[in-house]
Amino acid sequence: MEQDTIAAISTAVSNSGIGIIRISGKDAVAVADRVYRSKGGKKRLADQPTHTIHYGYIVDQGETVDEVLVMLMRGPKSFTAEDTVEVNCHGGVYAMKRVLDVVLKNGARPAEPGEFTKRAFLNGRIDLSQAESVMDVIQAKNEYALKSSLQQLKGAVRTAIEELRSRILYQTAFIESALDDPEHISLDGYPDRLSEEVHQLQKTLSELIASSENGRILKEGIRTVILGKPNAGKSSLLNALVGEERAIVTDIAGTTRDALEETIAFQGITLNLIDTAGIRETEDVVEKIGVGRAIEKAGEADLILCVFDAARPLDENDREILKVIEGKQAILLLNKTDLAVTLQETKLQELTGGRYPVVSVSAKEQTGLSKLTEQIHNLFYQGEISVQDELYITNARQKHALLDAAEGLQRVQESISLGMPEDFYSIDLLAAYEALGTITGETVGEDLVNEIFSRFCMGK
Ligand SMILES: Nc1nc2c(ncn2[C@@H]2O[C@H](COP(=O)(O)OP(=O)(O)OP(=O)(O)O)[C@@H](O)[C@H]2O)c(=O)[nH]1
Ligand SMILES: [Mg+2]
């Protein structure tokens, strides 16, 4: 597919060591030759072998604009699968803009956000799931998110989806041929066999759908809400985990009013920590709103860190909080264990029937925090996460397509159990096939493709 030639600054538009201007399209090399002058003044990029680097200058009507290294990559062995030239210039904002300007004056047009990746997709070098993972790699906030996105970039989602689709297609093809040629291909007993095959397909689909919950946590972090009565030390805990004095800490009960959010990354995982107002009955209007907000946040949390004051006996507020966390993933933290302890770990365990892990900490002395992070690892990653060999769906669009496909297969099962004619199975099998095709991009319209790529960054 021959397309016009586009160019953009592919590195961040801020002062840095090196800036890269990427040019892609059928005239990429010709455009580059118009603006590039080799050190000796004679070498033309058009005569150079592919995948080579050249030293020289960018010139604008005889005037030197910058000293550069130019990378030449002819299609199809390039990111876009088209002829591509990357100009490494000095990374000053003005220098980069000047180089881009000269390139644009000499036959390229400005690239839209994500247009390079879109071309890689349209030229068939990658599928839509791989294209989407490009952005995920760029936005990865931790080790696991990065590993998972790289795996998708290599085509893990594509492979899984293509396999499912070919199995579905086989069944529809079988039904079609049997209906066309009933004398030679019999459908006796076929509904049972199809039902078994569809059952297997449904199982794989549900596993993929279930993986998206972990996928979200991998990608965006664990939504972690710190809950506890006033003065238990919630804000102190947030500060200790973040490693700086983010939240205001005082000995006045009711210090924190509004929820405060901080993201921390450690040992490859990301926590989105939310400090909340201490939970108690209160007449104070502002505090009351804060308490309501704390409970609301707790409802949306992946994990609740429930802070108790070890220096004080358990009270009504603590019991209220234990009600709030019912049915949620939580860790009970016995804080202030640097003081004389009145509330014991065993008491909390008894009260909750051992449903939650209990960890003794001191936010003030910063002790017990490594035990806490160990517990978080245990809860979310069973000690170790094996992103290398497990596939996680981290993309909401892909998840919805999987749900649509699952619905189609469910309808096939219903038609089978109702004893409907075989062509009914085909319709719903094809619906599932199409839904899965939107993940790889085989069955998506231009509008959706454009929308997906418009969310990309400039120059990618
Ligand atoms: N000795 C000791 N004091 C602590 C510890 N953690 C917090 N404190 C003290 O307890 C008081 C309350 O701490 P905060 O972190 O503000 O408590 P909070 O739970 O955020 O309180 P509210 O925002 O009012 O709900 C402060 O005086 C802290 O210094 C601890 O581990 N040991
Ligand atoms: Mg506080």
**Each residue of 346-385: pLDDT tens digit?**
999 999 999 999 999 999 999 999 999 889 888 877 644 4
Q: Kindly state the DSSP code that residue 82 receives in the 8-state scheme.
A: S
Query: Helix, strand, coil: what percent of the chain each, to 5?
Result: 45, 20, 35
Within 10 angstroms of residue 13's Cβ, the number of other Cβ atoms is: 14
Give the position, in ligand 1's atom list, of the atom nearest the Cα of 229: 25
C-alpha 86 chain-centroid distance: 28
pLDDT at 272: 92
Is 151's C-beta closer than 6 angstroms to any atom of ligand 1? no
Do 333 and 361 touch, CB atoms closer than 8 A?
A: yes
Give the position, in ligand 1's atom list, of the atom nearest the Cα of 257: 23
Closest to 452 measured CA to CA, from 25, 135, 10? 135
pLDDT at 382: 60
Quote the percentage of the chain above a pLDDT of 90.
76
Ligand nearest the Cα atom of residue 321: 1
By alpha-carbon position, which residue is closest to atom 14 of ligand 1? 233
**Chain mean pLDDT for the chain:** 92
Model pTM?
0.74
Taking the C-alpha atoms of residue 357 and residue 335, their distance in angstroms, rounded to an integer, is 14
Look at residue 123 and give its three-state secondary structure: coil
pLDDT at 352: 93
- Region 253-268 average pLDDT: 87
What sign does the CA torsion over 241, 244, 248, 252 have?
Answer: positive
Taking the C-alpha atoms of residue 335 and residue 379, their distance in angstroms, rounded to an integer, is 20
Ligand nearest the Cα atom of residue 260: 2
- Region 153-168 average pLDDT: 94
